[in-house]
Chain A
């Protein structure tokens, strides 16, 4: 198994649909992240889960709903999205140091390419 696995790799949905993105990490890390990557823009941090607890919600619209049932799995539930939400959604994991609180290395999945029609 590769380190961080995301499914599906590609998703096309209408604005009224409900879908979910899934992420699984096999690295034993204690933190997981959702990032949004749009063309010519910096990666935008959406959510952070540290030891399964959500520690960051970066002003993300409520049409994006994260779920972290355990330290290895992370979901992003999508509903009533807008065309401007079309982007590459990247999941990442890292091992947070309790002592330093630094992120350390982020291990990314291959991303889920989302298109909202």
Chain B
């Protein structure tokens, strides 16, 4: 099992502020996914990054894959209450259909 550490564990911010969530590992991943899980729901995929150094933008969310493909970050600009949820990163090894998940970062955006 490849360990993924997410930080911080909890994050509470005011609407309109920016935030960054980190996902780190000592292992190299062929791809890395970010999911958001809202209370009472299952996780929903936000993005998949596959190339070292890759940056993907999804409206106010910016995802970056580290050059060495061992870490990733999620940055949210001008956070809104609808961004509240548990953010999970998950990495896949080469030729491996098993994803390793981090423990998640719980983000709360106050109105």
- Interface range on chain A (Cβ under 8 Å from partner): 20 to 34
Residue pair B97, A96 in contact (C-beta under 8 Å): yes
Looking at the assembled complex, report how far the CB atom of A31 sits from the nearest CB atom of chain B, in whole angstroms. 7
- Contact partner of A90 among B9, B40, B42, B48, CB < 8 A? B42
Looking at the assembled complex, report how far the CB atom of B95 sits from the nearest CB atom of chain A, in whole angstroms. 5
Interface residue tally for chain B (C-beta within 8 Å):
26
Residue pair A109, B42 in contact (C-beta under 8 Å): yes
**Proximity bits, A71-82, B CB within 8 Å = 1, else 0:** 000000000000
Docked CA distance A110–B39 (Å): 10
- List which B73-87 residues lie within 8 A (CB) of chain A: none
- Contact partner of B103 among A42, A103, A111, CB < 8 A? A42
Residue pair A102, B100 in contact (C-beta under 8 Å): no
- Contact partner of A101 among B35, B42, B97, CB < 8 A? B97
**Proximity bits, A44-85, B CB within 8 Å = 1, else 0:** 010010100000100000000000000000000000000000
A-side residues, CB < 8 A to B, are: 4, 31, 40-43, 45, 48, 50, 56, 90, 92, 94, 96, 100-111
